[in-house]
Amino acid sequence: MNNKNNDIYRELQKHLDKLPIGFPATQSGVEMRILKHLFTPKQAELAMELGLQPLTLKKIYRKVKNSGITIEQLEKELDKMEEEGLIHFGSTKEGNEIIKYYVNAPMVIGFYEFQLNRLTEDFYNDFMQYFEEAFLAEFNKTKIPQLRTIPVEESVTFEQKISTYDELRTMIETIGEPISVQECICRQAKDLVGDPCKKTDLRESCLAFRSFAKIYIRKGLGREISKEEALKILRKAEEDGLVLQPGNSQRPMAICTCCGCCCGILTNQKRLLEPAQFFATNFYASVDEDLCVGCEICVDRCNMDAISIEDNIANVNKVRCIGCGVCVPTCTSEAIQLLKKEVEITPPINTKATYMAIMDKKAELARAEKNS
């Protein structure tokens, strides 16, 4: 029986690896521990019947009815999986009938984030081990990130032309409702292992919008807030030196407030020698050497270890700088400014377009590897 269960989890790993951001295997087998922690064998079997495109309850039932399960039992099982954050769910109304549909969730951004308030120390340690062994390479494979970086408001001067999708206030005003705020799962995890955030006391700081917000509110993981409160939270995050990372689209589903000591993405990316290439950002920091007094505040503020002091002057390593702008407002001599890159990166129109772009790029890379 145990071997049979292992086979189920291995098949689930292979199945999830087909998603835009996959779930690759490792030599250590840590990915199997993650799946076994989250999915029962029965849930693993059901997850393998789902895919990237939403399937209605009736279509899923046609695939599994020979197992003897009733459609009512199937709906109950799928709803439980969605409640536990293992899959995503949606619904539409056709006349008087509610049509439910279900879809696989990736690990990030997906079933990991929905373990909010369910984290254990062992699971978190496995997650971080997996990130280091295999997931970071998968996350970076196409160089089309799920998140992008927008500059803090005070770091951009009025003379600079900034696109609406990089402008915080415009984004919040037009993002759509409801808006929810929930605890940052990365800081919750760090608190759990006794290594609290060194940047901020904020915990309830990550925002979700529209249908994504409805999920957090329905699950009791987040609370609905106004646009004004959302802006207040984000400004506090900026003051504390956090990086604002919305989803990589013009109409993102969420905004994360990230630090270099807790965030799973930033802490792993900054271990690389040239991490900036894996971020979608339209800005970079630059220092006026004649104004810099070498106070080192910018060094402490930087979440990517991109700034160093050389001969009492701050130096920005451009291959590490992600253009977040947290170093600009606190510069005592106004020596640092954000400059816009010559070639602007326009994010995909929506989240679906982001994932399709990632899938297309992965297919292109696979073809090139096969032909090489």
Domain contains 372: no
- The whole-angstrom separation of Cα 135 and Cα 275 is 15
Find, among 20, 95, 76, 80, the residue nearest to 51 by Cα.
20
Predicted pLDDT at 153: 74
**Residue 5: pLDDT band with limits 50, 70, 90:** confident
Domain contains 110: yes
DSSP secondary-structure letter at 110? I
Q: Tell me, what CATH number does 29's domain have?
A: 1.10.10.10
Residues 176, 120 share a domain: no
pLDDT digits (tens, 9 = 90+) for 305-356: 999 999 999 999 999 999 999 999 999 999 999 999 998 999 999 999 999 9
Domain contains 349: no
Listed residues 130, 161, 178: the one ending a domain: 130
Domain contains 147: yes
DSSP-based three-state secondary structure for 250:
coil
> How far from 109 is each of 57, 74, 131, 233, CA to CA, in Å?
24, 25, 13, 21
Listed residues 130, 163, 181: the one ending a domain: 130
- The whole-angstrom separation of Cα 46 and Cα 77 is 9
Q: What percent of the chain has pLDDT over 70?
A: 96
pLDDT digits (tens, 9 = 90+) for 205-241: 999 999 999 999 999 999 999 999 999 999 999 999 9
Residues 167, 63 share a domain: no
**Of how many residues is the chain composed?**
372
What per-residue string of b and e applies to 139-151 under the rule 16 or more CB within 10 Å gives b?
bbbbebbbbbbbb
Predicted pLDDT at 227: 97
Domain contains 367: no
Domain region containing 75:
2-130
- The whole-angstrom separation of Cα 241 and Cα 348 is 27
Domain contains 54: yes
Residues 242, 176 share a domain: yes
pLDDT digits (tens, 9 = 90+) for 146-192: 999 999 876 666 455 666 778 888 999 999 999 999 999 999 999 99
pTM for the structure as a whole: 0.92
Listed residues 130, 154, 182: the one ending a domain: 130
Residues 117, 190 share a domain: no
pLDDT digits (tens, 9 = 90+) for 86-130: 999 888 878 888 899 999 999 998 999 999 999 999 999 999 999
Domain contains 348: no
- The whole-angstrom separation of Cα 269 and Cα 137 is 10
DSSP notation for 54-86:
-EEHHHHHHHHGGGT--HHHHHHHHHHHHHTTS
Residues 222, 151 share a domain: yes
DSSP-based three-state secondary structure for 155:
helix
Predicted pLDDT at 249: 94
Residues 292, 249 share a domain: yes
Residues 288, 154 share a domain: yes
Find, among 79, 288, 245, 222, the residue nearest to 151 by Cα.
245
Residues 255, 331 share a domain: yes
CB-hemisphere CA count at 13 Å for 200?
29
**Residue 198: pLDDT band with limits 50, 70, 90:** very high
Residues 230, 115 share a domain: no
Beta carbons of 66 and 81 less than 8 angstroms apart:
no
pLDDT digits (tens, 9 = 90+) for 16-41: 999 999 999 999 999 999 999 999 99
Residues 274, 242 share a domain: yes
Q: How many domains does the chain contain in total?
A: 2
Domain contains 278: yes
* Average predicted confidence (pLDDT) for the chain: 93
Residues 303, 201 share a domain: yes
Residues 148, 122 share a domain: no
CB neighbours of residue 315 within 10 Å: 14
Checking if the pLDDT of 1 tops 50, the result is no
